[in-house]
Amino acid sequence: MTTDSTIKTEPGRRARSLPWSDDTMPLMLAPMQGLTNRALRALFIEWVRPDVVFTEFMRVSNVSRHRLRRSDLAEAASATAEVPLVAQLVGSNRQALVAAARSAEAAGARHINLNMGCPFGRMTSGAAGGAMLQHPALLAEIIPALRNAITGTFSVKLRAGYDDPGQIFSLLPLFTEADVDFLILHPRTVIQKYAETADHAITRRVVRESPLPVIANGDVRTAAAGLQILEETGAAGLMLGRGAIADPLLFDRLRNRSLSEPTAAESAVMLQHYLRQVLARYCELFCGDKQILDKLKNVLAFIDAPALAGPVSKMKRAVSISALVNQIEALG
Ligand SMILES: Cc1cc2nc3c(=O)[nH]c(=O)nc-3n(C[C@H](O)[C@H](O)[C@H](O)COP(=O)(O)O)c2cc1C
């Protein structure tokens, strides 16, 4: 069972606490907007039990007195007893982020993460997400201010740089000095978006050069790839995004160090169980057939096993829940 842990650091420094226990190499479910809502997280927790889960990013308003929406505050506080939940903030203004972190903690969040990686557009007014990496002077104000404000764990999730994959190395002293609890690194640049492959040689160098625990993220699609990244980088753990949404059992294969990939028949059984579960949970969380279908199709967009291409393409075109249910049942 995963429990939070506190790691003692050198004298004079704050004891580091982490949302995973000392004897765990944590496998985390990545924050994914439009996907890792509380229903999907609950399914993952019951089925494959990630060691740590994240909310989707929560936009921090620079203008509203309420820096986070009420629904986001409820989400931040929605941890289950078993698996630590990290609330992720995306924003650009120091005071607003600090106020948002405080209100998330007041609502019950124990772990807070700052999104410094999202490559898409302006998610708030100002430079937020990956765009923050264009403003190192601003980061030098925001990171210590958040650290001082947050009483639970404070982590950052970032890309290797805005347009320079070596930028991360100039930021490491800031993270160490500010006493950030851990880093999650997706070693692509922001402008790269999802092109080419994640360069985990950068992760390896960051692990060597930073005293902070580093979680490796990016392009883990098979257990073999994940185990290789862990071995070659020395990372403290892995975060799984698209690979986990495509096949939640990737968590099991990694945990069991099972190198064989599922057969076509096993993938079909997995998908049938997965979609039955997602549909049942989405019918409770969301309202109306259209919203439920759209949300479920967000999941389908990531199912890329070649053996499932035919049925998945049909399901993506389903115009009613009953049509989708028929297709799910035809998988068996
Ligand atoms: C649809 C989608 C939504 C995402 N939403 C978020 C998000 O809310 N917060 C965040 O930090 N990263 C977000 N990401 C990035 C992922 O968390 C992850 O860093 C990235 O996909 C690389 O990991 P992967 O190769 O395992 O998918 C998102 C990625 C995708 C594809």
DSSP string, 219-230: ---SHHHHHHHH
DSSP 125: S
Please check the confidence at residue 24 and state whether its pLDDT lies above 90: yes
pTM value surpassing 0.85: yes
The full set of domain ranges for the chain reads 5-255, 264-330
Q: How many angstroms separate the CA atoms of 45 and 36, rounded?
A: 11
Mutate to test the pocket of ligand 1, among 27, 32, 115, 157 (most ligand atoms within 8 A of CB): 32
Q: Is 16 in the pocket of ligand 1 (CB under 6 A)?
A: no
Contacts of 138-141 spanning 24+ positions with Cβ under 8 A = 138/92, 138/94, 139/171, 139/174, 140/174, 141/94
Average pLDDT, the chain: 94
Q: Is 192 in the pocket of ligand 1 (CB under 6 A)?
A: no
Q: How many angstroms separate the CA atoms of 127 and 29, rounded?
A: 26
Asked if 94 and 145 count as a contact pair (C-beta separation under 8 A), the reply is: yes
Q: Which H or E run contains 184? A: strand 182-189
CB count within 10 Å of CB 194 equals: 12
Q: Is 117 in the pocket of ligand 1 (CB under 6 A)?
A: yes
- Residue 153: which region, alpha, beta or left (left: phi > 0; alpha: psi -120 to 50)? beta
Please check the confidence at residue 1 and state whether its pLDDT lies above 50: no
Least confident range from 1-5, 25-29, 213-217: namely: 1-5
Average the pLDDT over 117-121 and give the result. Answer: 84
DSSP 319: -
pLDDT in tens, 48-92: 999 999 999 999 999 888 999 999 999 999 888 889 999 999 999
CATH topology of domain 5-255: TIM Barrel (3.20.20)
Atom of ligand 1 nearest to the CA of 239: 26
State in Å: Cα 57 to ligand 1 middle. Answer: 10
**pLDDT at site 150:** 97
State in Å: Cα 186 to ligand 1 middle. Answer: 9
State in Å: Cα 86 to ligand 1 middle. Answer: 14
